[in-house]
Structure 1
Amino acid sequence: MFFINLQKVIFAFKIIKFRAQTAVQTDERLRHTNEFIQGMQVLKMYAWEYPLAKLIHKIRSEEMKYLKPASYIRGLFMSFILFTTRLGIFLSCMSHVMYGGKLTASKMFFIVAHYFILRQTMTVYFPQGVAQVAEAYVSIKRIEAFMKIHETSIGDPSVLDPKNTQAIFRSVTPNDLLSVGALLQKGVFMNNIIVKYGDYVCINDLTANIVPGQLTAVIGPIGAGKSALLNTILGELIPSFGDIKVNGIVSYASQEAWLFSGSVRANILFGEYFDRIRYREVVTVCTLIRDFTLLPFGDRTIVGERGASLSGGQRARVNLARAVYKKADIYLLDDPLSAVDPNVALQLFTNCITGYLKSKAVVLVTHQLQFLQSAQQVIVMEDGNILGRGTYNELESSGINFTRLLHTTPVPVTETYSEPPEPRLQPRSLSLVGKQSSTIIPEEVDEIRTYGKMGSYVYKEYIKSGGNCCVILIVTLMFLFTQFFASGCDLFVAKWAQLEEKRASLGTAESLGFWNVLTRKDCILVFFILIMGDATFAISRSFIFYSVCIRAAVRLHDRMFSSILHAKMTFFHTNPSGRILNRFSKDIGAIDEALPSSLIDTIQICLNLVGAVIVIGVCHYLLIIPTVLVIVMFIALRNYYLRTSRSVKRLDAITRSPIFTHINATIQGLITVRSEGKESILLEEFDELQDIQSSAYFYFLSTSRAFGYWLDIICCCYITTVTLFYTFTEIEGEGPSTGLAITQAIGLIGVFQWGMRQSAEVESHMTSVERVLEFIYEVEQEPPLESTPDQKPPPSWPKYGKLEFQNFSLRYDVVGSPVLNNLNITIHPREKVGIVGRTGAGKSTLISSLFRLGYESGLLLIDGIDISKMGLHDLRKKISIIPQEPVLFSGTLRYNLDPFDEYHDGLLVAALVDVEIKVAVINGAACLKLIISEGGQNLSVGQRQLICLARAIVRNNKILVMDEATANVDPTTDFLIQQTIRTKFKHCTVLTIAHRLATVMDSDRILVLDAGNVVEFDHPHILLQNSDGLLSQLVLKTGTSMAKQLKKTAEKSYSQAKSDTYEGDDEMDLDQSNSRKQ
C-alpha cells in the first residue's frame, strides 16, 4: 500500500505538469473565443468562420493533448481503489500461510477489516487529496504570477529612476488643491518629455502647457502619437525623460466609445451624483435629446453590451457626455467628432467643446481640420515627433509643412451656424420616454434558468457524444467484469479461510465438497488470478471510459462553438459576451474534468454496492432485508437532496455569467475607468456580483454537507443492525462468513456516503451539459453557409456588380419593426455611391442587408440573382468590406490578411504597400510576421483601418463596401484611401458610408437615408440644386467656405461624368458605324 501510494505521489507531480500545460492552452482557447465573440459581425461579413473554427479546433486539440494523460492518471487512481485493497489482503494472507501460519476466521476478519478501513483513506481520500493539491498548486502559481505583474500607480508621484529625478509624473487630487489653493495653477505642464512604448518612441521632446480657457487641438497622421499624448497625461504612459505635471481633475473620452451594459443615463453618470440641471445641459450640448425621444425608454433604455442597441454616432456622443458630465478641470477628448455626421459634429464643437467647456483646459485630438482656427493652440505630430506648436496662423506662417495635412480649407465654425431650437423636455422627469424606435436592436435578455428534474435527454446526448452503441457496450461490459472479479476476490477469501479452518480441525477438507480439490497453492493461484483479472479490467475500463468522456467533451465543445459561430447576430445583441464565455469556460471545464471523475466514481460505487449486497446475501440471506431498506432510504434521501441541489447548482452557474461580463467590460474600458477614478465603484459592483455568486455556491456546499450528515446517520444505523444480528444470532461454523459480512457492511459506510455524494455531483455537473445543449439546440441559426447545387451562383459571379432592391425591408428581430422600409433602388455596375444621413438613419443597416445579417423581406438582386436563395459564404466571399469598427485578431499580420492561406506573400505585401503601411514599405515580406495583439491594440485605430483596406484589395471583389472607413483617419490618409479605391476598385461597384461629405461628394450618386427610408438618390450636384433637400442642409451645416468647396467638387464630378458619358456614346456610335460598314 505504501509503495502504491508512493507511485500516486509521483503521478501527482505529472498531473501538476499536465495541468499547468492544459491551463495555458485553455487560456489561449478562451482568449481567441472571446475575440471571435467580440468581432463576430465582422467575422461573418468576411466569411471567416472556417479558418477561425480551424484555429479553435487546433488549440482545443493541444488542450486535449495535455488533458488526456492527466485524465488517464486519474483513471489509474480510480483503478487502484478496486484492486489495491484486495492485493493487500492477498499478500498478507499469502505471507501468513506461506510462513506456516493458520488462516483463521478471526485473523482473516482482522486483515480484511484493516484493509477495508484503509481503503477509503489510502485509495480514495489520499489520491483525491494529492490530485486536488496538484490542481491547487497550479492555480496558486498562476494567481501568484498574475499578482506579481507590475501595477500602475496613477495619481501617485512616480519616479522611474531614482537617479533621474527629471522623469516625474504628478497628478493632484482635489484634497491637494484645497491645501495648496491659489498657489497651484490648474492645467497640464510638459517640459521636454520623451515617452516610449517598449523600444518605440511615441513622443519625442514635447514642451507644452495646457491651461484653463484654452482649446488645444492635436493633429497628425495615423500612428503619429496623438492618443499616446493623452495616455501620458492620464498617467498610463510614463515619460522616460522630462517632466509632466497634471494639476487638477481630469476627464477623458476615449477614441473608441466604451459603454457598459446599463441604461444610457447610467453610462453618462458613471457613478457621479445626479444633478438634474447639469444633466439636462450636458445631454443638450451633446445633441442627445432627439435620440432620447427615439429610444423606447428614453435615457433609461438599456444600451446592451458595448452599446449594441445604439448606432456608432450615438455611442460616441454618450461616451462624450460621460466625460463632459464629470466636473473636471482638464478634458481630454480623443477624436469624438469622427463618428458623427458633419451637422452633429458642428453642433458638438460649437455647443459643447467651445461652448460648455470654454472655461476648461481642453485637449482635442481630431482629424476634423476645419475646426483648427477656433483652437488657441495646435500641436502637429508625426511619428512621435512634434512638427510644430502654436496657433493655426502661426503654424501656417512658420514654414512647417503643415498645410499638407489639409486637403480642405478650414473655416471658422461660427460663420453660418445658428443656435438650435430649445429642446422640449418633459418637466417632471428626465427619463425622456419616447415612441418605440424602429432602429433599436433587441435588448439584452435574461439568462434562461431551467427548473425541475434533469431531463433524460441530457444523459442520452452526453452518452451519444461519447461514442456509438458498440463503444458504450464495451465500456459497460468492462465495468461488469471488473466488479465480477472484485466480488469474486471477496467471496474467495472467505472460502479460503473456511478451507483452512476445516483442514486445521479435521485434518481434511472433504466436508467442503467442491473446495476439497484445492490445495493451499491452488488457493493462492486462484486468488492471484482473480486479483490480476480485477486489476486488468479496472485499468482497461478506466482508460476506455476516460477516452469516451474526452471524446464527448470535445464533441460537445465543437458542436457548441459551431452553433455559436453560425448563430444569427440577434443572439450576440441580446446575450452579453460574459454569458457566452461562461459556457466555454466553467461549463466546458466541468465537462472536461469534473464530470468524468464523478461519473466513473458513481458507476463504480453502484456496482460495488450491488457486489457488496450479493456478498452479504451469500453470507446470510436475512441481511439482505436491512441492506435493501438502507438502499431505499439512501435513494429517497438522494432524490430529496437533488430537488434542492439541482436548482442551487443552476443558480450558481447563472450568477457566474454577470461576473465574466463585468470583468470583460472593465478590461475593455480600463483606461476610462482609471481616468474617471471609478475603480472603487467597479470593485464594489464586482464584490456585489461575487457575493451573489458566492452565496449560491455556499448554499450548494451547505446542502451537500447536510446530505452527507444524514448519510452518516443512516450508515451508523445499518452497521449497528448488522452487528446486533450476528451478536444475537448463533450461526455455527460461519466465522469467516460472519467476518466477511461485517467487513463488507463496514466498507459500505464510506461507499454509501461517497456514492450518494458523487451521484449528486454527477447530477450537478450534468447541468453544465444541459447548458451546453441549450446553446447547441436553442440558438437560432443562420441559413446554410454553402449553396445547394441548383442555387449555386456561377464562379464568375458577380461579373458586373449591379444591385437591385425591390420592396426590400429589413429588421433585426423577427417581431421587431423594420429598420429599412420598402427600399426600391438600383445601383448600376461600377457605380460609386455615397450613403449619407443623420445618425441612426439606417446607413450601416443597409450594409448589413447585403450580408444578410438580419431578417429581410422583399428582393435584393446582385447581377440579377436573388441573394436570399444562395449560401451565405457564396454571397459574403464576393463582397469586400472595410467595417466601421476595424477588427483584428491576435496572430500574425499575414493571418489577419489571409486566414485561408490562399494568396502568396508578394500579393499581400503589395496590398500593404498600396495603403502605405510603413512597416511593409520598409521591411517587405518580413512585415507579414508582425505579431498583432488581441483586438489589434498594439496598432492605432487608423492603422487597423488601413489593414482592413489591404484585406479588401487582396480579395479583389466586384463590390466594395466602406462603412465609415475613414472616420478615424487624418485627411491625408483619407485622401490616400480614396485614391487607392479609385485606382484599385475602378471597375468595381463601391458603396461608401461617410460622415465627411468631402469623401463622397465626387460619387456618381448619393443615397440619402432618414429613419430607414430613401429620401434622395441622385448625383450630388443634382441633389444640391434643391436647397430644401436633406443633402443641401447637411452641406450648409459645414460652413460657407466648406459648402462652396463641396458644391464645387460635386459640380466638377458631374461635368466629368457627363463628359465620360458623351465619350462612351461616341465610342458606341463609332463601333456601330464600323459594324454597318462591315
Structure 2
Amino acid sequence: MDFLCPGDPTVWDGRRFAPCFADLVLGLGGNVVAAVAVLALFIAKRSASRTENARRRLPEKLFVFAIPSFAACLSLLGIIVLVKKKIEGIDVPNHESFFRCSQFLAWVAVLISANGPWSEILCNPIICICWMLKILLEIPHLQYTLTEMKAMAYVTEIVSFSASITFGLFLIVITAIQKLCNKREVNSIEAPLIPNNENSEAENANLVNKQHNAWELLTFKSVNPMMDIGIRRQLDFTDLLDLPAELRTTSCYDKLLSSWTAEHQKYRADSSLLRAMFYAYGWSYLRLGILKVINDSISFVSPLLLNKFIKLIQEGSVGMDGYIIAISLGLTSIIKSFLDTQYSFRLAKLKLMLRSSMMGIVYRKCLCLSLSERSRFSEGEIQTFMSVDVDRTVNICNNLHDAWSFPLQIGLALYLLYTQVNYAFLSGLAITIILIPVNKWISTRIATATQKMMKQKDERISCAGELLAHIRTVKMYSWDKLFTQRLNKRRELEVKHLATRKYLDAWCVYFWATTPTLFSLFTFSIFAIMGHSLDAATVFTCVALFNTLISPLNSLPWVINGMIDSVISSRRLHNYLSTPEHCSSELTISSDIVKDDFNRNTETIYDPTTVIIRNLCCSWSSTSTVEPQIILRDISLQLQKGLFIAIVGEVGSGKSSLLNSIIGEMSVISGSINSCGSIAYVPQVPWILSGSLRDNILLGKGFDTRRYEEVIQACTLDVDISTMIGGDMSHIGEKGLNLSGGQRARLALARALYHDSDVYLFDDILSAVDSEVASWILEKAIMGPQMKRKTQLLSTHNLQAIYAADMIVVMANGFVKWFGTLDSFLATPYSKISNPDSSSAVSATSSQKNKGPSTSEFNTKDVLDNGSVVDQEEQRDQTEAEGRKEGKVEIIVYKKYATLAGWSMVFLIFVSAFLMQASRNGNDLWLTYWVDSSSGTNNTRFYLTILAGFGIINSFFTLGRAFSFAYGGLCAAIQIHADLLGSLIGAPVSFFDQNPSGRILNRLSSDLYTVDDSLPFILNIFVANFFGLLGTLVVLCYSQVTFLLILVPLWLIYSKVQFYYRSTSREVRRLDSVARSPIYSSFTETLDGSSTIRAFQKEGFFLERFIQQLTLYQNTSYSELTASLWLSLRLQLLAGLIILFIAVISVVGFHSNSPVKFGTPGLVGLALSYAAPVVSLLNSFLTTFTETEKEMISVERVVEYVGIPQEELQGSESPDRSWPTEGKIEFEHVTLRYKADLPPALNEISFHIESGMQVW
C-alpha cells in the first residue's frame, strides 16, 4: 500500500477525497471502464460497414478525431512531466502516474475506435453512460489538483477536463440525433397514410441535415443568406429562414391543447394554465437549467483568473504563467459567448413554441364560446387576451430560471467577495438586504397598478373597437366629440395607473443602478477602517465581482415584477379558457328534463331533420350568472321535416333569440332543445368574410359548379357578378364594404343555400331588399327547388313570406303566444301583428303561392339596373394592402417622439445620464489612484471622503435620469394617443373602407402599448448603455494606451457588423408587424361572426386558416431571433479578443526582460475589469439600439396614421343652436365618388326633398 499511496492510505481526509483514493480508485476506475467499453464495442463492430461515417459532416469528424487527439497529447505531456520529475529526483506519487497512464489509454481507445465504424461504436447509449461516469469520477482528482498554485498544472487540468466534458456532450448529442433519425425512418412507413405537402420529404431531410451541422448551430451561419439579401434589397416573406419542425404552429398548438384539456378535465375549478404549460413544455424547459448553470458558473472564472493575474503582476513574476493566464482569460470569454447565445437561442425557441400554441388555443376558444358565455368578457378584453396577456404569460419562461439563477449568482459572488475582503462585504450585503423588502413593496404596487391599467386598457380597446365598427353611424350623427370624450376618459384612467407604474419603476431603476456603487463604497470603506490595506488584486477582483453582481441585482426585481405580471395574465387567460364552451346543435341540451321524456312523443322525434323544443327558458347571460335575465320563457315547439315556418312578432318579442337558442348561442336555464342534421344560419346583420365573393359563398366547402350557379341565380347575384371586374373572385373588402346592404343579405343567403343543410334559420333577411327582390328570393330561393324537404324558420315582417308559410309562430315578450297554420292564424287577434295594408296584398300573395311568380313579371336585370348594384368600376377593391417603410427609421420619427416628450426633458435625460456615468468612472479611477499610491494608510480618510463624494453624485444623477425618463415617456404616450385618436376621428370614411379595423386597432393596442411601456424601457437602457460604452472606452484608453492601436480596427469591424445586421433586422421587424396585423384582423373578424361559423360548423376551417397566419408570424419572429443572436455571438467574440489583447500586452509590458512598462498594476487591473463588461456592453448597446429602432417602428406606424388626410369641412358659419328647424334636403349638381381614381358613383345629381315628405 505504501508503494501506491505513501503516507496517504485513507479515503477521506476531512475535506475531500484523499488524493490516492481519487486517483487510484475513482479516476483509474473510470478511465478503465470507459476504455474497456470502447474497445469491446470496437471488437464487436469492427466488421461493420463504414458507410455511415462517410455521411457525417466535417465538424463531426473533427470532434471525433481532433478532441481525442488533443486530449491524448495533454495526457502524454502529463506523463512526460512526471517522468522528468522522477529523473530529477523529485518525489512523484505512484497513484498519480497510474492515473495519467489510464487517462492516456482511454483517449487512445477512442482514437482506435475512430478508425473503425465509429458512428456505431461511439454513438451508443452505453458509451455515453460510461463516459459521463468517467467525467464524474475525475472530479475529485481535479479538486485537489486545482489547490496547487502552479498555473501550468491549473490550466492543463482545466483544459483536459473541459475536453472530456465537450467530448461527452458531443457523444450525447450525436447519439440523440441518430436515434431521432432512426425513429423518423421507421415512421416514414406510415407517411403515405398522412396527407402532406409534396415537398415535405425534402424539407424533413433538410431539417435533419441542419440538425447534424453543429458548426452552423453554434455560429448561426444559416442567417448569412438572409443577411446578404437584406443588405441588397427589401426583404420579403420568401427570404426568411425556414421554420424548424419543432416550431411548426400545428404541432405546438396540439401539444398545449391536449395538455390544457387534460388539466381542465382532471382538476376543473382547481385547474391551472401554468401547470398545463409545464406538462406540455416543462421538461424541455428544465433541461435548459443545466445549460444555465454551466453558463453562470463560467462567468465567475474570469474574476478568479483576474485575481491570479494581477497578483503575478504585483509580484513581478509574469513569466510563462502570466501568458497562460492571459490566454485563459480570453478563452473563458469566448467559451461563455457560445454558451450564452445557445442558452438564449433555446429559451427563445421555447417561448415561440409556447406563444404560438397559446395564441392558437385563445383563438380556438373564440370559436367555441357561445354568445351568452362570451358576455362575461368585453370584446376589448378578449382582444387584450391575444395582444397582451399571451406575451406576458410566455415571459414567465425567462423569469423562472432567473428566479433561482440570480440568487445563486448573488450568493456565489458574495462568497468570493468574502474570500477577498473578509467580513467587510457584509456592509454591502446589508444594503442589499434592506432593499429586498423595499423592492418587494414596489413590485406589489407595480402589480396592482398593472392590473388596474390592463382593466382600463381593455375598456378603451373595446370602446375603440365599437367606434371602428360603427364609424359611419358615428359620423352621420356627428358623435365624433362624444366618442372622443369617452375614449379620452378611459385613456386618462389608463394613464393614471400607467404613471403610477412608471414612477415606481423609476424608484426601482434608482435602487438597482446605485446598489453596485454603494456596495463598492461601503465594502472598501469598512475594509480600510478594519485596518487592511487595499491592493490592486483585491480591489479589481472585487470590482469584477461587483460588475458580475450588477445584472442579477438589477434584474431580480424585474424578474419578480415579470412573474407577477405573468401570473396575473395567466389567471385572466385561465378564466377565459375555463368558460363553458358552445354545445353543438347536433347534441341534446337539457337542464331539468331528461332525455327519456322525448320517447313519449311522436315518432317524428327520430326524424333526422326535425327541431324539438320542450319547456325552454333561455338567457343571454352566462350560466355562471347568479340571477340571469330570462329572455325566452316556457317555449315548446315541434317542427317537422320540410315545413316552412314564419316567426312573427313585434320588435323585441324574442324572434331572433329563438333562432339563436336553436344554434346554441343562448344559455339554457331549463328545458331542452334537440335538432338533428346540419344547420345553415343567416343573421339579420349579415356576416361577411374579408375575401372574395366566392370565398364567402363556399366558406371552406368544395366547389360544385352546378349548385354554385343555381344558388347565385336564385339569390339574384348573377347580374352583380357580371358587373364586377374580377367576377366572383372580386375582393369585397372587410365586412363587405364594397357591397350594398341588399347585396350582403343576398350573399349571406347564397352561402346558406350552397351548403345544402337540413335546417335553415333566416333572421329577417327580406328586410334588407326591396319588395320585388324579396318576391324573387322568396320564390326562387326560400321556396325554390333546392329547399324541398328542408326545414326552414324565417323571422320576418314580410307579408308575402307570412302568407306563404306552412306554419306560423307568434312571439310576444319571450313567449310563444300562438303556433299553427295560416288559416288558423288569420282567425286570431295575432294576425293584426302583420298589419296588411290592403286586401290586394293578401290576394297577390295567395296567387303567388298557388301559381308562383313568373319570370316575365319580374326581371332581375331591370331591378339591378335601377341601382341595386354598384357600377363595376365602383366594385374595384377598396381595401389597400398594408404598406411598410423601407430602410432605416427616418430621423423625423425620432424628432417627433422627442417633441412629444419635450426637448427640455430630453436635454435633462442626457445630462443626467452623462454625469451619472462620469461619476461612476471617476469612482473607479479614484480607486486605482488609491491602490497605486505610496502614501500608505495615513490618508485613508481623505481617500474615503473623495470616494463617498463620487457615490453621492452618482446617486443623485441616477435618480434624476430615472424620473426624467418616466416623466418624458408619459408625456409622449399621452400626446401620441391624443394625436392618433384626433386623426382617426377626423379621417374620411373612405380611410376606414381602405383599412380593415384590425389594422387600425393594431395601432391603438399593440403599437400604443409599445409607446406606453416597451419603448421608454428600451430607450432608457440604450441611453445608459451608450454612455456606459463611451465611459468604458475612455477608461480603457487611459489605463492602457496600447488599446488605441486596436481601437480603430475594432471600431471598423464593429461598424461593419452592426450595419450588416441592422439592414436586415429593420426589415424583419417590419415584416413581423405586417404578419401580426392579419392575426388581429382575423381574430376581430371571427369575434364578429362566431355564431355564423359555429352554425355552419366551420370551426376547423377557420382554425386552420388562423394557424397558417400564425405560422407566418412565427417565421418572422424566428428569423428575427436568429439574426439577433447572430449579432450577439459575434460581438461577444469581438469583446473576447479585446480581453485577450489587453491581458497579453500587459504581460509583455511587465515581463522582467521588457524595457517598456504599460501602466501600474492598478491600471492593468482597471483595464481588465473594464474589458470584461465590454462583452455585455457592446452586445447590449447594439441590441438596445436595434431594439430601440424596432420599437420606433411602432411610433413610425402611429405617426403614419397621425398624418392621414382629414375630412374637409365646407363652410365657415356655425349654425344656430336651434338648427335644424326642419328636415329639408337639397342636392345641387352633386358628384360623388368612392375614391379619387374611380369614376363618379353619383354624377350631377340634383333634387329637393321638402320637410315632411316621405320618399320611397
Q: TM-score scaled by structure 1? A: 0.71
Structure 2: gaps of 5 or more residues: 1-428, 622-627, 862-868, 1151-1156
Change (3 A) 1:653 1:674: same
Identity %: 28
- CA apart distance, 1:98: 0.4
2:500 is aligned with 1:69? yes
Q: Are 2:887 and 1:452 equivalent residues in the alignment? A: yes
Q: Counterparts of 1:800 and 1:204 in 2: how far apart (Å)?
A: 44
Tell me which of 449, 457, 462 is aligned to 2:897.
462
> Which residue identity is paired with 1:771?
R
1:115 lines up with 2:538 in the alignment: no
Aligned to 2:394: none
Q: Does 1:368 align with 2:794?
A: no
Q: Report the 3-state secondary structure (helix = DSSP H, G, I; strand = E; otherwise coil) of the residue aligned with 1:389.
A: strand
Name the CA shift for 1:781/1:166 in 2 (closer, same or farther; >3 Å).
same
Residue 1013 of structure 2 is matched in structure 1 by 593
Tell me what 1:476 maps to: 910
In structure 1, what is the Cα distance between the partners aligned to 2:452 and 2:764? 43
Larger mean CA deviation between 399-408 and 364-373 belongs to 399-408
In structure 2, the partner of 1:823 is 1245
Q: What secondary structure, in the 3-state scheme, does the structure 2 residue paired with 1:729 have?
A: helix
Equivalent of residue 490 in structure 1, options 902, 920, 924: 924
CA shift in 2, pair 1:78/1:423, >3 Å: farther
**Range that drifts further, 136-145 or 451-460:** 136-145
Q: Which amino acid aligns with 2:895?
A: K
Verify: 1:285 aligned to 2:285, yes or no.
no
Checking the alignment, whether the CA contact within 8 Å between 1:255 and 1:336 is kept in structure 2 is yes
Report the residue type matching 2:750 in the other structure.
A
The answer on 1:220 being equivalent to 2:649 is: yes
Aligned pair in 2 of structure 1 residues 421, 742: CA closer, same or farther (>3 Å)? Answer: farther
Structure 2 counterpart of 1:244, from 649, 670, 673: 673
One-letter code of the match for 1:776?
V
1:135 to 565, 570, 576: 565
| 8 Å contact kept, 1:490–1:615 | no
Q: Does residue 502 of structure 1 match 2:935?
A: yes
Cα distance in 2 for residues equivalent to 1:808 and 1:691 = 49
Specify the alignment match of 1:211 in structure 2: 640
Pair 1:239–1:817, CA change in 2 (3 A): same
Aligned to 2:1233: 811
Which residue identity does 2:809 align to in structure 1? I
Q: Which residue of 2 aligns with 1:528?
A: 948
List aligned pairs for 1:551-950, cutoff 5 A: 551-730=971-1150, 731=1157, 734-777=1160-1203, 779-784=1204-1209, 788=1212, 791-799=1213-1221, 801-828=1223-1250, 830-835=1251-1256
**1:740: how far off?**
1.2
Could you say which residue in structure 2 is the equivalent of 1:295? 724
**CA offsets, 1:200-231, max 9 Å, x none?**
33333333222222111100001111111111
Please tell me whether the aligned partners of residues 159 and 167 of structure 1 are also in contact (alpha carbons under 8 angstroms): no
Quickly say closer, same or farther: Cα 1:239–1:76, change in 2 above 3 A. Answer: closer
CA contact (8 A) 2:745 2:768 kept: yes
Which amino acid in 2 is paired with 1:19?
Answer: T
1:276 pairs with 2:687: no
Q: Deviations over 1:377-415 (max 9, x none)?
A: 001111012221111211222x44432542424525363
Q: Is residue 148 of structure 2 the alignment partner of residue 148 of structure 1?
A: no
Contact 1:602 1:759 in 2 (8 A): yes
- Describe the SS at the equivalent of 2:783: helix
Deviation (angstroms), 1:72: 2.8
Distance 1:406 1:555, change over 3 A: same
The range that moved more, 73-82 or 228-237, is 73-82
Deviation sequence 1:262-307 (CA, Å, 0-9, x none): 1111101111111111111111111112211222322111111111
| Aligned partners of 2:1135 and 2:1171 also within 8 Å | no
| Distance change (3 Å), C-alpha of 1:167 and 1:533 | farther
Assess if the C-alpha contact under 8 Å between 2:700 and 2:1101 holds in 1: yes
Contact 1:189–1:210 under 8 Å retained in 2: yes
Aligned residue for 2:408?
Answer: none
Residues 1022-1042 of structure 1 show CA distances to partners (whole Å, capped at 9, x for unaligned) of xxxxxxxxxxxxxxxxxxxxx
Whether 2:641 is the aligned partner of 1:192: answer no
Distance 1:606 1:243 in 2: 68
Aligned to 1:252, the other structure's residue is in SS state strand
Q: Which deviates more, 249-258 or 611-620?
A: 611-620
SS of the residue aligned with 1:771?
Answer: helix
* In 1: Cα distance, 2:1140 partner to 2:619 partner: 77
Q: Which residue of 2 aligns with 1:267?
A: 696
Structure with the higher helix share, 1 or 2: 2
CA distance in 2, matches of 1:579, 1:396: 52
Give secondary structure in 2 for the equivalent of 1:804: strand
Q: Are the counterparts in 1 of residues 731 and 877 from structure 2 also a CA contact under 8 Å?
A: no
Distance 2:928 2:538 in 1: 11
Return the alpha-carbon distance in structure 1 between the equivalents of residues 675 and 667 of structure 2. Answer: 12
Q: How does 1:267-416 map to 2 (within 5 A)?
A: 267-356=696-785, 357-397=787-827, 399-409=828-838, 410-411=841-842, 412-413=844-845, 415=847
- The runs of 5 or more residues in structure 1 that have no matched partner are 171-179, 427-433, 509-518, 836-1078
More strand by share: 1
Q: CA 1:716–1:425 in structure 2 vs 1: closer, same or farther (change >3 Å)? A: farther
Is the 2:714–2:777 Cα contact (8 Å) retained in structure 1? yes
| Amino acid in structure 1 at the alignment position of 2:528 | V
Find the aligned partners of 1:753 and 1:82 in 2 and give their Cα distance. Answer: 19
Q: Give the aligned length.
A: 796
SS at match of 1:387: strand
Conservation of the 8 A alpha-carbon contact between 1:296 and 1:436: no
2:745 aligned partner, one-letter code: A
Residues 1:339 and 1:423: Cα distance change in structure 2 (over 3 Å): closer
How far has the Cα of 1:245 moved from its partner? 2.0
Q: Deviation of residue 754 (structure 1)?
A: 1.4
Residues 612 and 819 from structure 1, CA distance in 2 versus in 1: closer, same or farther, beyond 3 angstroms?
A: same
How large is the Cα RMSD of the aligned pairs?
2.7
User: Alpha-carbon deviation of 1:89?
Assistant: 1.3
* Counterpart secondary structure, 1:56: helix
Residues 1:196 and 1:595: Cα distance change in structure 2 (over 3 Å) = closer
Is the 1:120–1:750 Cα contact (8 Å) retained in structure 2?
Answer: no
Cα contact 2:442–2:508 (8 A) shared by 1: no
Quote the offset at 1:438 in angstroms. Answer: 5.1
8 Å contact from structure 1 (residues 370, 408) kept in 2: no
Secondary structure class of the residue paired with 2:632: strand
Cα distance in 2, alignment partners of residues 488 and 239 from structure 1: 74
Aligned in 2, Cα 1:618/1:185: closer, same or farther, shift over 3 Å?
closer
Give a deviation string over 1:729-752, Cα, whole Å, max 9, x none.
133871212211111111222222
Cα distance change on mapping 1:439 and 1:353 into 2, 3 Å: same
The residue identity in structure 2 corresponding to 1:815 is: D
**Aligned counterparts of 1:379 and 1:193: Cα–Cα separation in 2:** 15
- In 2 relative to 1, CA 37–733 (structure 1 residues): closer, same or farther, beyond 3 Å? closer
Cα distance in 2 for residues equivalent to 1:249 and 1:473: 68
Partner of 1:995: none
Q: Following the alignment from structure 1 to structure 2, what is the Cα–Cα distance between the partners of residues 228 and 70? A: 44
TM score, norm. by length of structure 2: 0.61
Amino acid at match of 1:454: V
In the other structure, the counterpart of 1:1066 is: none
Cα distance in 2 for partners of 1:770, 1:133 equals: 31
The separation in 1 between residues aligned to 2:684 and 2:714, in whole angstroms, is 19
In structure 2, the residue corresponding to 1:503 is in which secondary structure? coil
What is the identity, as a one-letter code, of the residue corresponding to 1:710?
Answer: R
Distance between the aligned counterparts of 2:872 and 2:1159, measured in 1? 90
The Cα of 1:807 is off from its aligned counterpart by 1.8
CA distance in 2, matches of 1:635, 1:69: 40
